[in-house]
Structure 1
Amino acid sequence: MSLFSGTLLSWLAGLNILLVGLWVGMYLFTTFVVSPAFTELFPDAEVRRSHRRLVGRHYARVNGPLTALLGGVALVMIVMGGVAPVLWAELLLLALIGGTVALHVRRASVAGAPVPGWITNVTLGASVLLCVAAVGAA
């Protein structure tokens, strides 16, 4: 590996950790600050659901590109000869998180249907593992 590719791989590893931190921070803020605040601010479930959909659309405008960039960085690191098993695990975790978030959105859009707690727990657990994978790939 040349000095340039080694330096680039190190830079990408740092960017990978930063992107994972941003992603997980956004998710934690939404889960532990925004959702409880909405429950207190909007006791009516339909009004709350409407406001959550609106916030969710804005959240997706940031989170979607962030997730795509995170996946792209992991793929580039794999191609450049990074710690491939850890990076593949990171990509699989991103897919798992994407699936649980999509399931959460689908369940939340059904009037009167509560979102099962296991969806949040799986997403939180996968987020912790995502952090571990990003640090392990550095």
Structure 2
Amino acid sequence: MLQLSISDIKSQLQRAGFKMTPQREALVQVLIQHKTAHLSAEELFMLLKRSHPDIGLATVYRTLEILTQLTIVKKIVFEDGIARYDLKRKETGHFHHHLLCVKCGEIEEVFEDLLFDIEKKIETDYHFNIMDHRLTFHGVCKICQFAERDES
């Protein structure tokens, strides 16, 4: 899966009237480096503090809000109630889906657009213009299944 590059994101920001400030670029770099981690604003802030000790938590929240509005990242809330941020991939119109293990909390990403046919039907039958969707499957991951078998 191709991820958005710094230059892609900078272009999107500029088209929307925003600048790629050093703080925004640093946050985007962290999102790219940890693209599968589903980090919260506080976790992103702690990672940023290592290389940018002058950055504030409010700056992280403001930048995430801008990136969310521009659909560069998606804000996701899982079972724990904490908002986490997911970087969009380049080649898809939708954000990806998730598999959430209810035992260990592990989150796996599914990149196939599983709802394409359903979206078309909804658009046709209900005259509803779908912009995006969110899908999280809740279950037990392979590792936890093996652990359960070993315990039995």
Tell whether the structures are fold-level matches, with TM greater than 0.5.
no
Q: TM-score, normalised by structure 2?
A: 0.25
Structure number with higher helix proportion: 1
Structure number with higher strand proportion: 2
Q: TM-score, normalised by structure 1?
A: 0.27
Higher relative contact order, structure no. (Cα contacts within 8 Å, ≥ 6 residues apart): 1
